[in-house]
A and B are shown apart, each in its own frame.
Chain A
């Protein structure tokens, strides 16, 4: 009895301990009525880097705000399990139960994550590829559910969806040229999917499956996707059900089974990944050792292929490809040749049997290839990921027609060595699909195939500025350019154009860079030969970047300080203080001229480019009295309003109209009534060297200053 009690105690302690370890606490966040959440869900065949990049690409296109409300971007990871093998089952399962919520481990984790992090009522799920199953299930799990989200506040947008629906009647975009969705899922597997509503003409350099989210869909249909998403966001409405001080989504109840599954996956996933890596490493070693056997195998396989194809008319077997160094082209149309290479790659299959005994045509062969593809492409991805790519700048392999998973590198078979690989037959197919009679017997090493065509031109980067300025009769020294090509590295750049510094005007220099494949890019630089140029020298502030700590702009008889430049309703607002020493006859802050230019004067200007000049706003009678004055200058489309005040009392205010002012105008300063004639040299500093009032309360100050000009309008 005592023993039993002891056992019982152990059991209780164990259960309590485990329960305490597995229990999870959730943050009770706020659920705001302002703002939107855009949550992205990747397809399972897109790796983590690709999925992360996809969300960033979308964020970049969509921007940080909509309807003057911020967008909170959430990346909901749809992870891969069991080194990819678990994903195949997952896809089949999800497709089979396409019309209902599939509450698997990953969905519960997404709901848990969302409960923790989503803090807006309005949420849009943006899903790609297989992620659409999760988006639909997510929606089904929370929309109009207790503790969930009212359907008016949640939506789904699908990209390349293999599902037959978009939950909540959401929008979608699928290209008819997407070989995974429209091709494999739609046509080959004849599954019911949302119809293609775009046709993307992707090119050779793109994802060969035409399926990648950012490199195909966003690249070619980015405008449509953004406008669809914006429209989807516009449809979302706030609700009175979600409380501001509660999580937007109640945390899901985590079953014991879920926790156990989490524990199992936490162990099994790394083990499977390690096994996969070890397998590939072993294969890589074997690859080198098998090189001797390779040629003999190639010849044998080729002859075997030839032998089999000689009986091609009875369609008992097809050899899809066979090649050696210089194989003769098989005459039989059922034999499909890979790019010439020294090795053999054979995929042997039995053709679909027919009751009528009819011979499958060539079309049937192609059809069979597509059916093989899902499993193959998964293997391809399994083997692609862990292989170190040292000294292998571009994945080499042959494009394989047929489907695969989401994005990235699927569809390219890498350097897989000798061993026979039994492909798990048709694990990707829905379980209600009769298994096609396809057996992949042998995949021998695919030879180093030609590198993908290099269609990317070099990137030219300007040294210096896009518009350089040189004073008339000065010397123009071209700062130069650099050009980097993704394949060739640094490439040479040729230059066309010249600059005559004796003649005013704009000149164009054209730089051209070409890589070894003849891909060419050009870039231009403007050079402005000008009479004058505004060169800022110092600005206020301790962190102004010029190495000084100017806080006072010192003139003879007055100081200017506490200067700020901000934009109000896109127009510049300048504020500063003037400390005038009224006992002096001569106060040279008045010497300071405001100039208004029709463009950025730092790029050079002529007298005709100055729209307006006027002494600093401190020039009014009151300023001859000793004291501190606050000056406020607010710009608008027609000029500016200045207001001078002292101790809170407005002394003067005035709107100054400026003719021909537009939003390209800039404003800057010149001193000593210099009229910007010899700017910035010459007598533009005011009378320096004598500061009867001293600096303001210990603030440091500069004399030889000229502030940077500012655009009066900022979009």
Chain B
């Protein structure tokens, strides 16, 4: 009888201990949930602006500083890495539409690389926005000739990705981020800016 009591006592102690641990864990969990929800909302609220497309606040060339860190330099704080932003403007000075789609893609890729909270929810949210940016890039090419469409869109995507992931550290970091990817719905929405409002 005593041994039974002993077992019962320790069973309850263990359960109580587990309960307390769970309570503590859940407190942190709910705190994290709030932070994560705020981060996800911020990710989805991050949009390209017309000023970005028109280059109203173009940064100076960060030169060698651009590759010193994974995040690089974003002096004008528009969420787009400065060297990538400048490359897009240099390449497409006369096409606001092309700039708009490429800048949006650069913006979401940079957002992935600078997530303040990295977990499944935030990274998956960033991936959803990446898919939206891809829809935007695809929207400026006609699908009537699928091979031509692939060539054009590949070139546009590569123009950004080759520059965005231009160091081994950045490639590795991005690859590791993908370990946080969960199931998700790929959105059908596209551009942040209505391309029809752009002059060229």
Q: Do A and B come from one complex?
A: yes
Interface residues of A (CB under 8 A from B): 7, 10-11, 13-14, 17-18, 21, 47-49, 51-52, 55-56, 59-61, 63-64, 70-77, 109-110, 113, 117, 273, 388-393, 459, 461, 463-465, 482, 484, 536, 539, 541, 543-547, 708, 715
B8: chain A residues within 8 A (beta carbon): 7
> Contacts A10-B12, A465-B94, A539-B199; is A61 near B146 (CB within 8 Å)?
yes
Complex A-B: 30 CB contacts under 8 Å: A7-B8, A14-B18, A47-B179, A48-B179, A48-B180, A49-B178, A51-B181, A52-B178, A59-B131, A59-B186, A60-B150, A61-B150, A72-B185, A75-B186, A77-B181, A77-B183, A109-B183, A389-B168, A393-B168, A459-B155, A461-B91, A461-B155, A463-B90, A536-B199, A539-B199, A543-B50, A544-B198, A545-B96, A545-B197, A545-B200
A55: chain B residues within 8 A (beta carbon): 186
**B36 at the A interface (CB under 8 A):** no
A52: chain B residues within 8 A (beta carbon): 127, 178, 181
In the complex, the answer to whether A110 meets B183 with C-beta atoms within 8 Å is: yes
A390: chain B residues within 8 A (beta carbon): 168-169, 172
Number of residues of chain B lying within 8 A (CB) of chain A: 51
A536: chain B residues within 8 A (beta carbon): 199-200
In the complex, the answer to whether A73 meets B168 with C-beta atoms within 8 Å is: no
- A113 and B91 alpha carbons, distance in the complex (Å): 42
B184: chain A residues within 8 A (beta carbon): 74-75
B38: chain A residues within 8 A (beta carbon): none
**B78 at the A interface (CB under 8 A):** no
**B153 at the A interface (CB under 8 A):** yes
**Chain A residue at minimum C-beta to C-beta distance from B153:** A60
Q: Distance (Å) between the CB of B199 and the closest chain A CB?
A: 4
B53: chain A residues within 8 A (beta carbon): 545
Contacts of B148-200 to chain A: CB distance below 8 A: 150, 153, 155, 158-159, 162, 168-169, 171-172, 174-175, 178-186, 188, 197-200
What are the nearest 10 A-B pairs in CB distance? A49-B178, A73-B186, A48-B178, A48-B181, A545-B199, A77-B183, A7-B12, A113-B183, A14-B19, A543-B197
Contacts of B65-95 to chain A: CB distance below 8 A: 90-91, 94
A10: chain B residues within 8 A (beta carbon): 12, 15-16, 19
Q: Distance (Å) between the CB of B162 and the closest chain A CB?
A: 6
B162: chain A residues within 8 A (beta carbon): 459, 484
A482: chain B residues within 8 A (beta carbon): 91
B46: chain A residues within 8 A (beta carbon): none
B153: chain A residues within 8 A (beta carbon): 60
**B26 at the A interface (CB under 8 A):** yes
**B143 at the A interface (CB under 8 A):** yes
In the complex, the answer to whether B185 meets A64 with C-beta atoms within 8 Å is: no
- A14 and B178 alpha carbons, distance in the complex (Å): 36
Q: A47-B179, A48-B178, A75-B185 are in contact. List 20 more A-B contacts (CB 8 A).
A: A11-B15, A17-B19, A17-B23, A48-B181, A49-B175, A52-B178, A59-B186, A64-B188, A74-B186, A75-B186, A388-B172, A389-B172, A463-B90, A464-B94, A465-B94, A484-B162, A541-B197, A545-B53, A545-B197, A545-B198
**B138 at the A interface (CB under 8 A):** yes
In the complex, the answer to whether B12 meets A11 with C-beta atoms within 8 Å is: yes
**Chain B residue at minimum C-beta to C-beta distance from A386:** B176
- A13 and B175 alpha carbons, distance in the complex (Å): 43
In the complex, the answer to whether B185 meets A60 with C-beta atoms within 8 Å is: no
- A389 and B176 alpha carbons, distance in the complex (Å): 11
Q: Distance (Å) between the CB of A159 and the closest chain B CB?
A: 18
- A715 and B146 alpha carbons, distance in the complex (Å): 14
In the complex, the answer to whether B138 meets A60 with C-beta atoms within 8 Å is: yes
**Chain B residue at minimum C-beta to C-beta distance from A7:** B12
B150: chain A residues within 8 A (beta carbon): 60-61
- A47 and B181 alpha carbons, distance in the complex (Å): 10
B179: chain A residues within 8 A (beta carbon): 47-48, 273
Q: Mark B19-41, 1 if CB is under 8 A from A, else 0.
A: 10011001000000000000000
8 Å CB contact of B186 from A47, A48, A56, A708: A56
Q: Distance (Å) between the CB of B91 and the closest chain A CB?
A: 6
- A196 and B193 alpha carbons, distance in the complex (Å): 46
- A18 and B134 alpha carbons, distance in the complex (Å): 42
**Chain A residue at minimum C-beta to C-beta distance from B131:** A56
In the complex, the answer to whether B185 meets A73 with C-beta atoms within 8 Å is: yes
Q: Distance (Å) between the CB of B125 and the closest chain A CB?
A: 13
**B54 at the A interface (CB under 8 A):** yes
In the complex, the answer to whether A546 meets B199 with C-beta atoms within 8 Å is: yes
B18: chain A residues within 8 A (beta carbon): 14
A49: chain B residues within 8 A (beta carbon): 174-175, 178, 181
Which of A10, A75, A77 has most B Cβ within 10 Å?
A75
- A482 and B159 alpha carbons, distance in the complex (Å): 11
- A541 and B196 alpha carbons, distance in the complex (Å): 11
> Contacts A17-B22, A74-B186, A117-B185; is A708 near B200 (CB within 8 Å)?
yes
In the complex, the answer to whether B183 meets A76 with C-beta atoms within 8 Å is: yes
8 Å CB contact of B19 from A13, A61, A113, A465: A13
In the complex, the answer to whether B199 meets A715 with C-beta atoms within 8 Å is: no
- A9 and B96 alpha carbons, distance in the complex (Å): 68
B174: chain A residues within 8 A (beta carbon): 49
- A459 and B159 alpha carbons, distance in the complex (Å): 9
**B3 at the A interface (CB under 8 A):** no
Which of A51, A60, A390 has most B Cβ within 10 Å?
A60
**B144 at the A interface (CB under 8 A):** yes
In the complex, the answer to whether A545 meets B54 with C-beta atoms within 8 Å is: yes
- A674 and B4 alpha carbons, distance in the complex (Å): 107
Q: Distance (Å) between the CB of B191 and the closest chain A CB?
A: 13
In the complex, the answer to whether A72 meets B168 with C-beta atoms within 8 Å is: no
- A543 and B199 alpha carbons, distance in the complex (Å): 9
Q: Distance (Å) between the CB of A470 and the closest chain B CB?
A: 15
- A51 and B119 alpha carbons, distance in the complex (Å): 18
8 Å CB contact of B15 from A14, A64, A273: A14
A110: chain B residues within 8 A (beta carbon): 183
B135: chain A residues within 8 A (beta carbon): 64
**B114 at the A interface (CB under 8 A):** no
B168: chain A residues within 8 A (beta carbon): 389-393
Which of A49, A465, A539, A547 has most B Cβ within 10 Å?
A49
A75: chain B residues within 8 A (beta carbon): 183-186
> Contacts A545-B50, A708-B199, A715-B144; is A72 near B188 (CB within 8 Å)?
yes
- A76 and B184 alpha carbons, distance in the complex (Å): 7
A547: chain B residues within 8 A (beta carbon): 54
**Chain A residue at minimum C-beta to C-beta distance from B158:** A459
A464: chain B residues within 8 A (beta carbon): 94
Q: Distance (Å) between the CB of A139 and the closest chain B CB?
A: 18
8 Å CB contact of A715 from B22, B50, B142, B185: B142
- A70 and B54 alpha carbons, distance in the complex (Å): 32
In the complex, the answer to whether B171 meets A389 with C-beta atoms within 8 Å is: yes
**Chain A residue at minimum C-beta to C-beta distance from B146:** A61
Q: Distance (Å) between the CB of B158 and the closest chain A CB?
A: 6
- A546 and B76 alpha carbons, distance in the complex (Å): 21
A73: chain B residues within 8 A (beta carbon): 185-186
8 Å CB contact of B178 from A47, A72, A461: A47
- A465 and B185 alpha carbons, distance in the complex (Å): 36
- A52 and B128 alpha carbons, distance in the complex (Å): 11
**Chain B residue at minimum C-beta to C-beta distance from A463:** B91
**Chain B residue at minimum C-beta to C-beta distance from A537:** B199
B171: chain A residues within 8 A (beta carbon): 389
Q: Distance (Å) between the CB of A86 and the closest chain B CB?
A: 16
- A478 and B62 alpha carbons, distance in the complex (Å): 27
